[in-house]
Structure 1
Amino acid sequence: MNRTVLITGGASGIGRAVAQRFAADQAEVFITGRTPDTVEQTAKELGVHGVVCDATDPGQVEALAARLDELDVLVNAAGGLPQTTSGEESALEALLAQWHASLAQNLLTAVLTTTSVQDKLTSGSSVISIGSIGAERRGGSYGAAKAALGAWNASLSAELAPQGITCNVISAGYIAGTNFFHGQLSDERHRALVEETHNKRPGTVGDIAETALFLASPGARHLTGQTIHVNGGAFTTR
């Protein structure tokens, strides 16, 4: 389909897989990331447009939006666990820095980017944000930020749905093959996360990419304001 798709955090992990899936669907895809070399290399490999942009920086986000005309799909995939601090701060200062980083990376990136391109969305457009099972349990500052993402999405949907724009969150469970844990995931923790699922396997970036493609499809036009849990049954709703 000849659509224009913007994916923040599209140079690696889930964002990269989503970009690859939409590109395979013949969309014109723009990916963003903070590291120039990574963005350039990924864009070249996938045959998409790469834009260096820190989605926590309003000026950079405004410059990104200025490059786009009409936008059919926005995928807010930027985010992740905050890096540890240098250890020079007090305990409270370190805690505050961690919470600020979690909120900036996992909530404000989506808020700023979506707001900057909102006037470029049209009837039939989709806004998709990548959440986490961490919003439901044991998530700390990261989980709290992802929970806030879901609350913000519900409000955004109420605002944009009358214009024919859908807004949904994909809440990802444990996804193997990413750098989310920065190489710190033990074999024991991996087994425990898999054991929590009903289907006894980790999620893949492809699982999330296919869900994103569906949420942006004609068959999902009455699906908005929702958090879609993609976790193999590790967390269930009723």
Structure 2
Amino acid sequence: MFLNISKPPNFVDLMIEQSKKILVTGGASGIGAAICRRMSDRDSHFLVHTRANKAGLEKTIRDIERNGGRGNAEFADLAVKGEARLLIQRAIDVLGGLDVLVANAGYALKTPITEISDEDFETAHVTIARSFFELATAAVPHLEKSNCGRIVGISAFGPHVWRTKVTPFAATAAAKASMEITAKALALQLAPSGITVNLIAPGFVRKDQKAHVAISPEILNKLVAEVPMGRVAEPEEIASAVAFCASSEASYITGQVIHVNGGLV
């Protein structure tokens, strides 16, 4: 007896995928910029967001164009209520639709939990968890019109790895945990439509050169010593996982947190 296996909703063969309309938040540097480079080609059109990094954003747009794609820039403070929803509308206006939402904007706070102010704790949550909720829920009606709707968020190792020698980033980890639960709820609800929702949880990632000013070689070596593979990740390694989740090759993967962390368990 043979089963009649049909293709899932919104499935498009990898070789015939149409041009992609992509929104990337936090795309001016680091992981976000690497995502734009990795996913840009002649069939891609990006709206790339940053809060204030104008120089970095301009470089990312140039990299997209160098790869044959098209790129537009947008500035917004996603910690301000409603700005994330406005960003989605801006993406629709500029791109003419939306196929892929990559939520990468973050907020890293190393302060020990007993020393975090109410304001900083709230800032972490509105920048990470609430902005993801606003972005994703506002994007859904537009992703439903796509033939390959994807939501990919950048989480972190923080909600999963707790060691005395690893900086916990407590407020950030709490906000990322909330983001992960929101993603799972979305994945469950959107699964029948073929829209997938997944998160990438990086470990320690090499930062842009300027970002290393506050990290001494000694501290960096201590961090690397905690990673079983003995090194930090390159931003491009995180970007490759995002590109996979955004492709039709990942059409049967949803509601997952994919760890790209060199073996941190």
The TM-score normalised by the length of structure 2 is 0.78
Task: Identify the match of residue 103 of structure 1 among 125, 135, 146.
Answer: 125
- 2:205 partner SS: coil
Compare the two structures and name the one with the higher strand fraction: 1
Residue of structure 2 in register with 1:121 after alignment? 143
Q: Show structure 1 runs of 5+ residues with no match.
A: 85-90
Q: 5 Å matches for 1:58-207?
A: 58-67=81-90, 68=92, 69-82=96-109, 95-122=117-144, 123-136=147-160, 137=162, 138-178=168-208, 183-207=213-237
The TM-score normalised by the length of structure 1 is 0.86
For residues 221 and 180 of structure 1, the distance between their equivalents in structure 2, rounded to whole angstroms, comes to: 37
What residue identity is the alignment partner of 2:152?
Answer: I
Distance 1:226 1:173, change over 3 A: same
For residues 258 and 110 of structure 2, the distance between their equivalents in structure 1, rounded to whole angstroms, comes to: 27
For residues 59 and 234 of structure 1, the distance between their equivalents in structure 2, rounded to whole angstroms, comes to: 36
What residue identity is the alignment partner of 2:84?
Answer: V
For residues 147 and 179 of structure 1, the distance between their equivalents in structure 2, rounded to whole angstroms, comes to: 28
Q: Give CA deviations for 1:8-67 in whole Å, capped at 9, x if unaligned.
A: 111111111111111137311111111163365235422311111222334433332223
Q: Give CA deviations for 1:183-222 in whole Å, capped at 9, x if unaligned.
A: 3223222112212222211101001110001011121111
Larger radius of gyration: 2
Task: Identify the match of residue 52 of structure 2 among 35, 39, 49.
Answer: 35
Residue of structure 1 in register with 2:244 after alignment? 214
Aligned length: 228
- Contact 1:56 1:112 (C-alpha < 8 Å) held by counterparts: no
Residue of structure 1 in register with 2:40 after alignment? 23
- Contact 2:28 2:53 (C-alpha < 8 Å) held by counterparts: no
Query: Are 2:79 and 1:56 aligned?
Result: yes
For residues 180 and 206 of structure 2, the distance between their equivalents in structure 1, rounded to whole angstroms, comes to: 23
What residue identity is the alignment partner of 2:151?
Answer: V
Residue 82 of structure 1: how far off its partner (Å): 4.3
Distance 1:7 1:145, change over 3 A: same
Identity of aligned residues (%): 28
For residues 252 and 22 of structure 2, the distance between their equivalents in structure 1, rounded to whole angstroms, comes to: 20
Distance 1:39 1:189, change over 3 A: closer
- Contact 2:78 2:84 (C-alpha < 8 Å) held by counterparts: yes
Residue of structure 2 in register with 1:14 after alignment? 31
For residues 65 and 80 of structure 1, the distance between their equivalents in structure 2, rounded to whole angstroms, comes to: 20
